[in-house]
Structure 1
Amino acid sequence: MKIFFVGIKGVGMSGLAVIAKQQGFEVSGCDSAEVFITDKILSQHHIKVKTGFDREIKDVDLVIYTGAHQGKNNPAVLSAIANKIRVLNYAQGLRELAGLKKIIAVAGTHGKTTTTAMIAKALTDAGLDPGYLIGTGNVPDLGGNGHWGRGDYFVAEADEYVADPTDPRSRPKFLYLNPYVGLVLSTEYDHPDVFKTPKLYQNAYKKFVKRILPQGLAIIRGDEKSARKIIKSAESKTKVKKIFFNQIVPGINLKISGQYNLFNANATFYACRFLGVNPQLIKKSLNSFSGLERRMELKFNGKTNGVKIYDDYAHHPTEIKEALKNLRSQYNNHRIIVVFQSHTVSRTKVLLADFAQSFKDVDTVIVAPIFLSAREAKSDFTEIDLACEIQKFHKNCISFSSQSEIIDFLQKQVHDGDIIITMGAGDIYKLISNLKI
């Protein structure tokens, strides 16, 4: 069977394409010409990627498309529909390709990607050869972001965002799954563009936990007020294990830092124990976990001037505060400069007050232009508005209208021993390769 992926460079789509290729299907796809972090993975698996969406789709059996790039209204998808080719959104494609495997679905506002990778690694180290789909460009410990596997389990990052924002019938992605084990790591409000109120956001999680199989397990963070009704919903359907942010599992000593990573590791421990993995083996696997690309990733280590540059994916106020608190604990006597690129105007405006108070652990805040999603039109609300709010709580905050201006500023201002971190879910990491420090 021939499968064509529209928007194949996305972190989820690329992993799904790799899985389809490993299952023996003939796989190809299309995307924009932009260089992306998944290019290397697709190339390694000899998956052909065509540039652009304005094309006729024929001579394939199935099209799987991303919710970005106009969703079902993408020209390539419309061509496939006109040619009577079967079309599935990403979440439907994941459900179909996962087949009859028992799904371990990792959901939550924060920690999904890291925890999915931790579980996949632990099950792999246990010799269970799980399938997995992880929403990042690469997982160094696993050698990729997607794998089919010969085992019975499939570990999936379960995103709460709707599968196709252009389709009113579309559901949150995780509502296309029926997990054997479902994890809810956080239900803190996010994605105001599709969930207009916190209640609607949490209702999606209530529906998610009700999809967990009766013989399975729901693992839910128990110290968030927003999770109380979600726990009740889960308890009406399946067994529930509550976990807590400051909880410690003895014997887990991670190579990567941060209390949030210990929490992710604890969630991993209980998920793998339910699946029958030896507790000592789980701890050994976790303690050798190397981390992920774009998760407090050290990108530059100046041997002569002591300057270090990190990159992190944090794009929600809570994630930003935790990441910067962790960084400050490591570099208490250094100047820390954060280059922050907010992700989507809708999130920035709704959570503006929280964003403004997220940077107390750094010395200088540089605000880059807001990264617009493929679904957003250009807005009058800009990086200048965000910087003005941050300046109410942090006097050393400045905004720039381009990455090139940020690079010029840094190259003039950075001193020996400074710690720089680029932060955001957009393309802010790209400026690092152009810095000459």
Structure 2
Amino acid sequence: MEKKTYYFVGIKGTGMAALARLLKDLGNEVLGSDIEKETFTQQPLADAGIPVLSFDPANLKEGMIVVQGNVFSDDHEEIVRAKEMGLKIQSYPETVEQVVANHTSIGVAGAHGKTSTTGLLAHVLSNVEQTSYLIGDGVGVGVADARFFVFEADEYRDHFLAYHPDYAIMTNVDFDHPDYFKDLADVKDSFETYGRQVKKGLFAWGEDKSLRDLNVDVPVYYYGTAPDDDFRAANIVRTPDGSTYDAYYKDQKLGTFTIHLYGEHSVLNSLAVVAVAYMEKIKAELANFSGVKRRFAEEDIADMKVIDDYAHHPSEIKATIDAARQKFPQKELVVVFQPHTYSRLAAYLTEFGQSLSRADKVFVTPIFGSIREQNGSVSAKDLEDLIPGSEDIDQASITKLLAYHDAVVVFMGAGDIEKYEDDYKARLKERG
């Protein structure tokens, strides 16, 4: 790609920060603006030498390409100024597509599991070939003359329809983002449209009916544990150390793989990576992968296991609790959950209650309202009423968690739940 100057409006967003770092690695000049609030993406941007400024139309200079964050409308003061100056303005997906077009690209889509799968695929390919990658946890790496580009293809507001990758992984189709999609059929239609834009092949989870019904123009290879899956995991053994399984392509055994990851979903995600590696004649190296940020990130403090996870949908919560039970079968499991968006909580209230009830104890924080919606008719109390023994919690009452010893506390959510986690960790260290 020709070297350019990119200005990101909303550079602290996880996807935006990752893309900014990738473009910087590729030799471009990169800077951007955002709100003053500290985020977990901010220090990596600083470490990469990427300036993060406050919003100000005066930041814009001639010749810049402006990357408009997904949550910022055309009436944002910097976007208005960019138009007045005649600068090129493009969206996050449009900018990613420019990278897609210059590599053998693999886009990872799915209602759940795409960040973990993208991270694992990037790790495996990077060990054997030059690989650039873009992961939804805020990590973006650009490598000059890379053969592969691995990236998340997010379905929200049909952003992934900007992409035309060589290969696609689809981990599942589920009804999420109820503020945009009408129902499951609407989501499935978007995935199918994206699938028709894939150039070489598609790898899809075989147990998902929506994926089994895909009508696309390239070969579809199904992965899973059923006899009719093209890529199949058999003889699965799950222990507190991880999971081991034999992988087959039709009747051909590809090898025995061990991953130090937890939960049935991790086996499926890694099998998708094995499938891509096989089709591209790459030897998969799964055993060294330890996970991505905010996906079952574990820390030992005092006598407690503290886990941080991005789970914010009932299916993801169920998978995370399953993973915690696998790794810590003898310990009490406490979950601190922050509902993310009123519309999602309202659409899945019953399902949230069912998934969270799998924990031994649940604490629910106030709802995190996104920029897209700040209030609604549903409350955190509505969720607590569906979970036996659950309680509300906030920063002032975080000391409730200090009553637990030799247990596991999992912080789940997609908002700013880190502030609760940080407070708890600080108090836990004081307790010793």
TM bucket (normalised to shorter chain) is 0.7 to 0.9
Q: Tell me the equivalent position of 2:259.
A: 254
Runs of 5+ in structure 2 lacking a partner? 227-231, 234-246, 248-254
CA distance 1:183–1:53, shift in 2 (3 Å):
farther
Alpha-carbon RMSD: 1.7
Partner amino acid, structure 2, of 1:227 = L
* Aligned residues of 2:364 and 2:384 also touching (Cα < 8 A): yes
Post-superposition CA distance 1:168-191 (Å, at most 9, x none): xxxx11111111011111001111
- Quote the offset at 1:299 in angstroms: 2.7
- Point out the structure with the larger strand share: 2
Q: Tell me the equivalent position of 1:211.
A: 197
Q: Tell me the equivalent position of 2:81.
A: 79
CA distance in 2, matches of 1:75, 1:229: 45
Q: Tell me the equivalent position of 1:116.
A: 118
* Equivalent in 247, 271, 274 of residue 269 of structure 1: 274
Q: Secondary structure at the match of 1:361?
A: coil
Q: Tell me the equivalent position of 1:292.
A: 292
Q: Tell me the equivalent position of 1:326.
A: 323
* Aligned residues of 1:56 and 1:79 also touching (Cα < 8 A): no
> What is the count of residue pairs matched by the alignment?
398
- Quote the offset at 1:330 in angstroms: 2.9
CA distance in 2, matches of 1:98, 1:14: 17
Q: Map of 1:33-432 to 2, 5 A cutoff?
A: 33-52=36-55, 57-68=60-71, 70-126=72-128, 128-138=129-139, 145-162=140-157, 172-213=158-199, 216-230=200-214, 233-234=215-216, 237-244=217-224, 247-248=232-233, 249=247, 250-278=255-283, 282=284, 285-302=285-302, 306-388=303-385, 390-391=386-387, 395-400=388-393, 402-405=394-397, 407-411=398-402, 413-414=403-404, 416-432=405-421
Q: Secondary structure at the match of 1:308?
A: strand
CA distance in 2, matches of 1:293, 1:346: 26
Which TM-score applies when normalising by structure 1?
A: 0.87
CA distance 1:174–1:354, shift in 2 (3 Å):
same
Q: Tell me the equivalent position of 2:241.
A: none
* Aligned residues of 1:423 and 1:429 also touching (Cα < 8 A): no
* Aligned residues of 1:192 and 1:350 also touching (Cα < 8 A): yes
Partner amino acid, structure 2, of 1:101 = H
Percent of residue pairs identical: 29
- Quote the offset at 1:433 in angstroms: 2.1
Query: 1:31 aligned to 2:31?
Result: no
Post-superposition CA distance 1:358-401 (Å, at most 9, x none): 1233111101111111111223422122222x23xxx211123x
Q: Tell me the equivalent position of 1:141.
A: none
* Aligned residues of 1:29 and 1:50 also touching (Cα < 8 A): yes
CA distance in 2, matches of 1:90, 1:376: 21
Q: Tell me the equivalent position of 2:17.
A: 14
Post-superposition CA distance 1:20-66 (Å, at most 9, x none): 22222211100111111111221111000002366563334210011
CA distance in 2, matches of 1:239, 1:95: 22
CA distance in 2, matches of 1:211, 1:63: 26
Post-superposition CA distance 1:151-179 (Å, at most 9, x none): 222111100012xxxxxxxxx11111111
Which TM-score applies when normalising by structure 2?
A: 0.88
Partner amino acid, structure 1, of 2:300 = F
* Aligned residues of 1:55 and 1:75 also touching (Cα < 8 A): no
- Quote the offset at 1:245 in angstroms: 5.5
* Aligned residues of 1:340 and 1:424 also touching (Cα < 8 A): yes
Q: Secondary structure at the match of 1:155?
A: strand
Q: Secondary structure at the match of 1:290?
A: coil
Runs of 5+ in structure 1 lacking a partner? 139-144, 163-171
CA distance in 1, matches of 2:288, 2:138: 20
* Aligned residues of 2:334 and 2:409 also touching (Cα < 8 A): yes
CA distance in 2, matches of 1:200, 1:176: 18
CA distance in 2, matches of 1:99, 1:29: 24
